Structure 1
Amino acid sequence: MIEAILAWASEHRDQALWLVPLLAFMETCVGVGLFVPSLMLVIVCSVFYANDWANLWLMAGMALVGSSLGDHVGYYVGRALGPKVEETRLVQRHINKWRRTENLVRRYGPWAIFIGRFIPAIRSLVPAMVGITDFPRWRYTPLDLAACSLWALGLVAIVRGAHEVFLP
């Protein structure tokens, strides 16, 4: 799949940069994120950076926006559906991840927003779980933006580090 994405990006370089926020959104959006590996975004950003197709900091900013939008979709789904989310077939198929996420949110509260952002297996579930707990909206957005900012800096470090290791 990644080969097809990169082939498309190579043919459509003027539009390819929009893959960055799209992939960031998809990997963090509740439900979708269970099927979109975070490695796809890292690979796409690495290829774009190595081929000088895009500025690394611009990609990090676009990834930050895409990931925060995905988180907010999950948060508002959690607020809207509440505990009914757990009864969905999708969550039932991934009930172990759901339980891990629930334990994380109960144990660490607001810190779960930061912790969950860096655990790919549950990244897309944390915002929904936080929304289910009726965590205040006015507190969620700044915490999520801060967590996504740290995550975007991590993306920069990974992409730049890989570039220096593999293309010195």
Structure 2
Amino acid sequence: MDIGFLKNSVLEFVQSHQAYAPFVLGLMTFAESLAFVSLLLPTMTILIAVGFVLAAAEIPFWQAWIGAVCGAVLGNWISYEIGRRYKKTAYEVWPLSRNPQLVTRGEDFFQRFGPWAVFMGRFFGPIRAVIALIAGIFLMPNVLFQAANLASASVWAFVILAPGAGLAHYLLW
């Protein structure tokens, strides 16, 4: 199979379905930000590559970015609410029940940095999977959590999509 053919096929598919791009990106970042699921589906590498594909398919960056932000905010928000509702019994759900060291590291990180842990935790792979849950368990005030959640999701989505989008413009145009 010719790599040029494969590239053109992918680009044609994305271009013909570009209206769904923000929604698909939102689903991917939702999965990456939701406690439990993000441990099973590490989509970071795929998300970085998606930035390149979206730019090559001439999908406006801001549309993709908004979809990614919405999914990431929603994933963390649900994780936070699970933590508030179920407290430490949430740690007993698989795959967290199999990763007690991750929970301990997440709790230590949250205790050390407080509200900033929600912002910074988004940028550290394994911690991202549990920090919103821990914020809910430790009853972080909702307004403070949502502010950190939205700010971190906005920066994080830009950081994961922009390199691919910028590289695509550099290489393709």
TM-score, normalised relative to structure 2: 0.83
- Residue 110 of structure 1: aligned partner: 115
Deviation >6 Å, runs of 4+? none
Question: How far 1:149 moved relative to its partner?
Answer: 1.3
- What is aligned with 1:40? 46
* Aligned counterpart, 2:70: 65
**Which residue in 2 is equivalent to 1:128?**
133
Task: Tell whether the 8 Å contact from 2:32 to 2:41 is kept in structure 1 after alignment.
Answer: yes
Query: Deviation digits for residues 91-111 of structure 1, max 9, x if unmatched?
Result: 121222222111110111011
Q: Report if aligned partners of 1:57, 1:156 keep a CA contact under 8 Å in 2.
A: no
Contact (CA 8 Å) 2:51, 2:163: kept in 1 or not?
no
CA contact (8 A) 1:98 1:125 kept: yes
Give yes or no for contact 2:55–2:169 (8 Å, CA) kept in 1. Answer: no
Aligned residue pair count: 162
Give CA-to-partner distance per residue, 1:76-99, whole Å, 9 cap, x none. Answer: 000001011122232121222222
Q: Aligned-pair distance for 1:15?
A: 5.1
Q: CA RMSD in A?
A: 2.2
Asked if the contact 1:20–1:45 (Cα under 8 Å) also holds between the matched residues in 2, the reply is: no
Does the Cα contact within 8 Å between 2:51 and 2:162 map onto a contact in 1? no
Q: CA deviation at 1:154?
A: 1.2
Larger radius of gyration: 2
Q: Which residue is equivalent to 1:13?
A: 17
**CA distance in 2 between partners of 1:87 and 1:156 (Å):** 34
Retained in 1: the 8 A contact 2:25–2:64? Answer: yes
Q: Distance in 2 between matches of 1:47 and 1:160?
A: 8
Gaps of 5+ in 1: none
Q: Matches of 2:171 and 2:107 in 1, distance apart?
A: 39
CA contact (8 A) 2:39 2:95 kept: no
Q: Residue deviations 1:47-95, cap 9 Å, x none?
A: 121122x211111111001100000010000000101112223212122
**Does the Cα contact within 8 Å between 1:72 and 1:127 map onto a contact in 2?**
yes
